[in-house]
A and B are shown apart, each in its own frame.
Chain A
Amino acid sequence: MATTFTIDKAAPTRAVKPRSMSRDRTWALRWSYFFLTLFAIFSLVPPIYMLITSLKTSAEISAATNPWWVFHPSLGYYQELLTSNMYLTFFRNSALVSVFVVIITMLISIPAAFALARMRFWGSATLATGVFLTYLIPDTLLFLPLFKMFAWFGEVTGIHLINKWYVLVIVYPTLTVPFCTWIMIGYFASIPKELDEAAIIDGASWFQTLTRIFIPVALPGLIAATIFAFTVSWAQFLYPLVFTTSTDQLVLPVGIITTLVKGDVFNWGQIMTGALLGAAPPLIIYAFLMDYYIAGLTAGATKG
């Protein structure tokens, strides 16, 4: 509390005694950096510990030496997992599911957002609100009825969706489409109307207005929505846990948990390596596209 005192006092007050103010400011900054460092350590301990463990050998892990230090670094676990067919299958399944989900999400939500933002029709406002409310319905409320529905669908049509990775491609859009549509409505609505009116006067059809004007102009929003859809489908845990069981159909999060844990034996080196590699794609995307990531994150709430 005392820290905030110095900080806020320093910031907006007009300089009466310049020297004391700059000293206050310096101290405020030092305290800020001190606490930020503490919070950053808190944030980064689990991922760093994953990295530390993944670099150890199994002998070093079971020897219970200092857990925060690697005495004999080895890439053994990485080699083990990246040559294991099972782990690569999980990775492939995750990648396939995420890519398909991103494509489907974009194909559904871009036209819908365009129609809801620009082409007012009967019930469009209600629909936009409804889409937003859909986003609030959690997966944990829907997994049981969905499980029953897919089982019934399999009995009736003979197409068995349960225990196939592509069932996830059908289910995940329910998590991504509402939010992506919502943020795309926001981005599309912020485009000046003169722009599409000009296009229409020049003889463009609605479809051309969308592809030639809206998509290029709202590209940052599009990237943000794509990142969102990808990370959500990459991270989803409940649906694959419920809908898939055979090892060749699992995606990464479930695969790591169900196959690397053998009975009560936790092979922690492998688990940490697998989890770190599994967390890598979202982390890499985040590292390069942080601003889009944050834009997508904040757009959802500020425009809600």
Chain B
Amino acid sequence: MVDVAFQPNTVAAAPVTRRRASLRATLKRKSTSAFLMTLPLILLVGILVVYPALYSLHLATLNKSMQRFVGFGNFTFLFKRETFWMVVEQSCIFAISAVIFKALIGFIVAHFVHNIPAKGQRKWRGMLLVPWVIPPAMSTLAWLWLFDPSYSAFNYTLSFFHIGPIPWTGDANWARFSVILVNVWYGAPFFMIMYLASLKSVPEQLYEAAAIDGANWWQRIWYVTLPMMRNIIAITTLFSLIVTFANFDIVRILTAGGPLDSTHLFATWAFKIGIEGSDIPLGASVSLFMFPILAIAAIFILRDINKRGNEA
């Protein structure tokens, strides 16, 4: 790319040295203005993201009144509490199973949408993406109402099949199932739309070649579709794992962590301790446990970006 900005007033007749100086000045000005243009971004990210992230590390080492340094005191306290291990377990169960189901449903639905005639696809895609569009706080309220202990519309319907009444949010295991169900409902459309976009980019010739070689439907998915979609599957899964691990809205509204703390995730428990229990340092220590998954994701993504950079 030509980085030199041609100035109409620097005429060719000007002495060589002066031209070089002005060139350097232009370059300098360009990088300065570029820096100025990114400065608001840098400030925003620095003050409101990077600093708080580091500050939470510091906060986690203080006592409840935030006056005394306790080192790893908060962490050793957490490790001794049974609730903490329940939260760890529930966070992992919740995130992993929700992401697996979201990915599976997204993949299957994307295939179905891809299969029908192109002119009808828009309509179906539009309907299937609705859960992703509604703010999760609002749609979770609808789920809460569907799960209501005495007026549950689901239990009403199920009663015709002589099933239930199911304690959707009242029983620990059902509550765990319910939060995962709502999360899958909310997140599956995202996977669907991603997979659909990437399905459309798989060249049709590959399937034709596979068909000529006598591949059956499973071999076609396994040897053509999945390898072609590997990147997008990896990235969406990683994204979703982070977002699901850090989920707050759904669990907070649906069960608020109950019954008996059995559905708490790191985020909701950190909120309960830090804001409702006003023990900010302990809450900060809890939320720091979301960090490892972030770090792993960051490493993978950085590797991916570097690889792409080399290819380009």
B is a partner of A: yes
Instruction: Give 1 or 0 for each of A237-271: 1 = CB within 8 Å of chain B CB.
Output: 11001100000000001101100000000101001
Q: Which residue of B lies closest to A45 (CB)?
A: B146
Instruction: Verify if B14 is at the interface (C-beta below 8 Å from A).
Output: no
**Complex: how many Å from CA A116 to CA B37?**
9
Determine if B143 and A46 form an interchain contact, defined as CB atoms under 8 angstroms apart: yes
Chain A contacts with B in 263-304, Cβ cutoff 8 A: 266, 268, 271-272, 275-276, 278-279, 282-283, 286-287, 290, 293-294, 297-298, 301-302, 304
Distance (whole angstroms) from the CB of A129 to the closest CB of chain B: 6
Determine if B126 and A290 form an interchain contact, defined as CB atoms under 8 angstroms apart: yes
A-B contact count (CB 8 A): 326
Chain B positions within 8 Å of A115 at CB level: 33-35, 37-38
Determine if A4 and B151 form an interchain contact, defined as CB atoms under 8 angstroms apart: no
Instruction: Verify if B179 is at the interface (C-beta below 8 Å from A).
Output: no
Instruction: Verify if B248 is at the interface (C-beta below 8 Å from A).
Output: yes
Instruction: Give 1 or 0 for each of B220-233: 1 = CB within 8 Å of chain A CB.
Output: 11000000000010
Determine if A203 and B8 form an interchain contact, defined as CB atoms under 8 angstroms apart: yes
**Complex: how many Å from CA A225 to CA B64?**
41
Distance (whole angstroms) from the CB of A179 to the closest CB of chain B: 11
Distance (whole angstroms) from the CB of A39 to the closest CB of chain B: 5
Chain B positions within 8 Å of A286 at CB level: 129-130, 133
Chain B positions within 8 Å of A149 at CB level: 51-52, 55
Instruction: Verify if A67 is at the interface (C-beta below 8 Å from B).
Output: yes
Cβ 8 A contact of A137, one of B49, B113, B305? B49
Cβ 8 A contact of B112, one of A11, A32, A257, A304? A32
Determine if B130 and A47 form an interchain contact, defined as CB atoms under 8 angstroms apart: yes
Cβ 8 A contact of A66, one of B129, B137, B156? B156
Determine if A141 and B59 form an interchain contact, defined as CB atoms under 8 angstroms apart: no
Given contacts A9-B217, A140-B290, contact A298 B193 (CB under 8 A): yes
**Complex: how many Å from CA A139 to CA B268?**
12
Given contacts A36-B112, A136-B298, contact A144 B221 (CB under 8 A): no
Instruction: Verify if B142 is at the interface (C-beta below 8 Å from A).
Output: yes
Instruction: Verify if B104 is at the interface (C-beta below 8 Å from A).
Output: no
Chain B contacts with A in 125-148, Cβ cutoff 8 A: 125-139, 141-143, 145-146, 148
Stretch binding the partner chain, chosen from B68-76, B170-178, B204-212: B204-212
Instruction: Verify if A130 is at the interface (C-beta below 8 Å from B).
Output: yes
Chain B contacts with A in 147-181, Cβ cutoff 8 A: 148, 150-151, 153, 156-157
Cβ 8 A contact of A272, one of B31, B51, B141, B249? B141
> Which of B135, B150, B248 has its CB near the most chain A CB atoms (within 10 A)?
B135
Distance (whole angstroms) from the CB of B64 to the closest CB of chain A: 13
**Complex: how many Å from CA A139 to CA B32?**
32
**Complex: how many Å from CA A253 to CA B235?**
30
Chain A contacts with B in 118-144, Cβ cutoff 8 A: 119-122, 124-125, 127, 129-134, 136-144
Determine if A49 and B145 form an interchain contact, defined as CB atoms under 8 angstroms apart: yes
Chain A positions within 8 Å of B204 at CB level: 12
Chain B contacts with A in 11-40, Cβ cutoff 8 A: 30-31, 33-35, 37-38, 40
**Complex: how many Å from CA A254 to CA B287?**
21
Chain B positions within 8 Å of A33 at CB level: 116
Chain B positions within 8 Å of A144 at CB level: 56, 59, 270, 274-275, 280, 283-284, 287
Number of interface residues of B (CB under 8 A): 115
Determine if B280 and A147 form an interchain contact, defined as CB atoms under 8 angstroms apart: yes
Instruction: Give 1 or 0 for each of A57-96: 1 = CB within 8 Å of chain B CB.
Output: 0000100101110000000000000000000000000000
Instruction: Give 1 or 0 for each of B40-74: 1 = CB within 8 Å of chain A CB.
Output: 11101100111111011001000000100000000
Instruction: Give 1 or 0 for each of B97-136: 1 = CB within 8 Å of chain A CB.
Output: 0000000010011011101110000101111111111111
Given contacts A67-B151, A297-B190, contact A124 B34 (CB under 8 A): yes
Q: Which residue of B lies closest to A116 (CB)?
A: B38
**Complex: how many Å from CA A111 to CA B42?**
12
Instruction: Verify if B271 is at the interface (C-beta below 8 Å from A).
Output: yes
Determine if B55 and A145 form an interchain contact, defined as CB atoms under 8 angstroms apart: yes
**Complex: how many Å from CA A276 to CA B2?**
53
Cβ 8 A contact of A46, one of B185, B248, B284? B185
Determine if A109 and B52 form an interchain contact, defined as CB atoms under 8 angstroms apart: no
Determine if A9 and B129 form an interchain contact, defined as CB atoms under 8 angstroms apart: no
**Complex: how many Å from CA A33 to CA B275?**
48
> Which of A127, A138, A253 has its CB near the most chain B CB atoms (within 10 A)?
A138
Distance (whole angstroms) from the CB of B12 to the closest CB of chain A: 14
Distance (whole angstroms) from the CB of A286 to the closest CB of chain B: 5
Instruction: Verify if A177 is at the interface (C-beta below 8 Å from B).
Output: yes
Determine if A282 and B136 form an interchain contact, defined as CB atoms under 8 angstroms apart: no
Distance (whole angstroms) from the CB of B254 to the closest CB of chain A: 11
Determine if B138 and A279 form an interchain contact, defined as CB atoms under 8 angstroms apart: yes
**Complex: how many Å from CA A294 to CA B40?**
28
Chain A positions within 8 Å of B243 at CB level: 138
Chain B positions within 8 Å of A147 at CB level: 274-275, 280
Instruction: Verify if B239 is at the interface (C-beta below 8 Å from A).
Output: yes
Chain B positions within 8 Å of A173 at CB level: 44, 48
Ranked nearest first, the 6 interchain pairs of A and B with the lowest CB-CB distance are A235-B135, A138-B246, A140-B267, A8-B217, A119-B34, A253-B137
18 interchain pairs, CB-CB under 8 A: A12-B220, A28-B115, A42-B185, A46-B185, A68-B153, A108-B41, A109-B41, A115-B34, A122-B31, A130-B45, A133-B302, A141-B290, A141-B294, A145-B55, A193-B1, A197-B2, A206-B33, A257-B137
